Structure 1
Amino acid sequence: MAERIALACEGLTKRFGGFKAVDNVSLTVREGTIHALIGPNGAGKTTCFNLLTKVLQPDAGRIAYFGRDVTRLQQEAVARLGMVRSFQISAVFLGLTALQNVRVALLQRTGLGPKFWRPARAMGHLDGEAARLLGEVGLEADAGTRAAQLPYGRKRALEIAMTLALDPRMLLLDEPMAGLGQEDVARITALIRRVSAHRTVLMVEHNLSVVSELCHTITVLARGSILAEGDYQRVSTDERVITAYMGVEAVQEAA
């Protein structure tokens, strides 16, 4: 079976005034893989990720999703195509239970999102699917717990459940390990591996141990351009990467 390309960009460029944050970036994310976008502060990875996830519009270049040109589409439009993003800061409804949070996401997928005036009993048919999604991320025991009462790591798991409720073909994760303790990092790493079994994942992540454990392909950015690309073994031994980003100690710790 021929390899399929989930997401590709060519010549992606973004300027802010006279500053070129992303400079002629071209990359390819293969279907069914976990692909990481990494780089030091100021490398342009966040801007590049925002371009790929349609938070920002590029000044130049082209973006294709499963062969369809989505360069000028808005974020909501590409989400309907199955490309769904989660954010670095947990974005859940703190006053709702975990089950209710996932139900809100299911309402959005079914086109009933704006109809919050409907009585709760009219949405009960979604509870089974919401419970299944909570089970997929290990939160079945927290279904009735208000999100505000969940530890931070479980809030991140809940956010992933809400993202899965949108039935993504491709999952885009913005620093999923940000703010997590070591135990939660291990839990969310295992969760990402599990939910990626039938999906493509693109993630921005600073934790190199996580990147080395999870990712099939890593794109390293520096000063808005691609510095290196390949599997972890290849990029971690690239002298340009060691010099510009990782540093010898960081590479040794993550190896």
Structure 2
Amino acid sequence: MTMATISARPAPESARAALSARGLSKSFGNFQAVTNVDIDIRHGRIHALIGPNGAGKSTVFNLLTKFLQPSAGTIMVGETDITRMAPAQVARLGVARSFQISATFGDMSLVDNVCVALQRQNGLAVQFWRSLASLSRLRPRAMELLGRVGLADMADHRAADLSYGRKRALEIATTLALDPKVLLLDEPLAGMGQEDVETMARLIADVARDCAVLMVEHNIKVVADIGDDITVLQRGEILTQGNYDAVSADPRVREAYMGTEDDD
């Protein structure tokens, strides 16, 4: 399968919002980083957040995951207001995020990495005294998740020995172990070669069938191929929103963002 064969999935306009924000704003002293952002991340769809450097993408991402507290506005997970919740509380509602830097336990095997992530879903998260061997009952599910991301045949390899692209795939597997309702990906394709980009794009498209996905991404070709909904930010405000055809037809977007794949 090539990137050209990956396409956005059709979905009814009524597809429910798993994560949404209204009037989202954030200031740092006298600097207004984000102003009045409205966004809906819908179940079964990939929502891409794009814009140039300094547009406010990372700030919006961190606001939605509650790593930053908003100065104004509301954030909802389904019908639950999470505006003042701590990140750990939000995670328990099924919101999971990745980071720009892959976070895995390098000296542990792939399957043990996933088993560790599975602990919370299996009531073992606070039982820190247990050995990894005691988590063996989690291995079948861990193997299923590794299979989903194409790593089952490397289950007993050290995570540190993986290529960068495969480390990001392992990170997706550990995130899926949390059984997320909303998955937020911060530049998941950054630093990858073309082959890894294509593999990861297919993986993200597959994952989005079961949850809502928001990704901050600057690879416009990937956004065009797998993005269902796109929000374009400029100076902390929404420039436009819509599907790729609508967004790319906007003269402001074409001039500022669509002309180069390197725009962040």
TM-score tier, shorter chain, comes to over 0.9
| Aligned length in residues | 250
For the pair 1:94 / 2:106, whether they are aligned, the reply is yes
Matches within 5 A, 1:180-199: 180-199=192-211
For the pair 1:7 / 2:19, whether they are aligned, the reply is yes
In the alignment, the residues of structure 2 paired with residue 22 and residue 242 of structure 1 have an alpha-carbon distance, to the nearest angstrom, of 22
TM-score by length of 1: 0.94
Spell out, residue by residue over 1:98-119, the C-alpha distance to the aligned partner (whole angstroms, 9 max, x if none): 0010011001333422423213
Contact 1:175 1:205 in 2 (8 A): yes
Please report the RMSD computed on the Cα atoms of aligned residues, expressed in angstroms.
1.5
In the alignment, the residues of structure 2 paired with residue 136 and residue 59 of structure 1 have an alpha-carbon distance, to the nearest angstrom, of 39
For the pair 1:226 / 2:256, whether they are aligned, the reply is no
Q: Structure 2 regions of 5+ residues with no counterpart?
A: 1-11
For the pair 1:240 / 2:231, whether they are aligned, the reply is no
1:250 Cα deviation (Å)?
Answer: 5.0
1:17 Cα deviation (Å)?
Answer: 1.5
Closer/same/farther in 2, CA of residues 84 and 121 from structure 1, 3 Å limit: same
In the alignment, the residues of structure 1 paired with residue 209 and residue 92 of structure 2 have an alpha-carbon distance, to the nearest angstrom, of 21
Point out which structure has higher relative CO (alpha carbons under 8 A, 6+ apart): 2
For the pair 1:104 / 2:116, whether they are aligned, the reply is yes
In the alignment, the residues of structure 2 paired with residue 29 and residue 101 of structure 1 have an alpha-carbon distance, to the nearest angstrom, of 28
DSSP-derived class of the 1:28 partner? strand
Contact 2:184 2:215 in 1 (8 A): yes
Spell out, residue by residue over 1:167-189, the C-alpha distance to the aligned partner (whole angstroms, 9 max, x if none): 01111111110111000000001
Spell out, residue by residue over 1:63-104, the C-alpha distance to the aligned partner (whole angstroms, 9 max, x if none): 011121111111111111111111111000111110010011
In the alignment, the residues of structure 2 paired with residue 119 and residue 189 of structure 1 have an alpha-carbon distance, to the nearest angstrom, of 35
Q: Structure 1 regions of 5+ residues with no counterpart?
A: none
For the pair 1:27 / 2:31, whether they are aligned, the reply is no
Q: Which has the higher helix share?
A: 1
In the alignment, the residues of structure 1 paired with residue 243 and residue 231 of structure 2 have an alpha-carbon distance, to the nearest angstrom, of 9
Moved more, 3-12 or 140-149: 3-12
Contact 1:109 1:166 in 2 (8 A): yes
In the alignment, the residues of structure 1 paired with residue 134 and residue 52 of structure 2 have an alpha-carbon distance, to the nearest angstrom, of 49
Residue 191 (structure 2) aligns with? 179
Match of 2:80 among 55, 68, 90: 68
Match of 2:170 among 158, 162, 167: 158
In the alignment, the residues of structure 2 paired with residue 119 and residue 7 of structure 1 have an alpha-carbon distance, to the nearest angstrom, of 36
TM-score by length of 2: 0.91
The amino acid of 1:154's aligned partner reads: R
DSSP-derived class of the 1:197 partner? coil
Contact 2:97 2:183 in 1 (8 A): yes
Following TM superposition, the consecutive aligned residue runs of length 4 or more in structure 1 with deviations greater than 4 angstroms are: none
1:30 Cα deviation (Å)?
Answer: 2.2
Contact 2:112 2:132 in 1 (8 A): no
Match of 1:142 among 140, 147, 154: 154
Residue 213 (structure 1) aligns with? 225
DSSP-derived class of the 1:168 partner? coil
Contact 1:222 1:244 in 2 (8 A): no
Residue 52 (structure 2) aligns with? 40
Residue 128 (structure 1) aligns with? 140
In the alignment, the residues of structure 1 paired with residue 133 and residue 87 of structure 2 have an alpha-carbon distance, to the nearest angstrom, of 31
In the alignment, the residues of structure 2 paired with residue 5 and residue 160 of structure 1 have an alpha-carbon distance, to the nearest angstrom, of 22
Residue 28 (structure 2) aligns with? 16
In the alignment, the residues of structure 2 paired with residue 11 and residue 145 of structure 1 have an alpha-carbon distance, to the nearest angstrom, of 46
DSSP-derived class of the 1:141 partner? helix
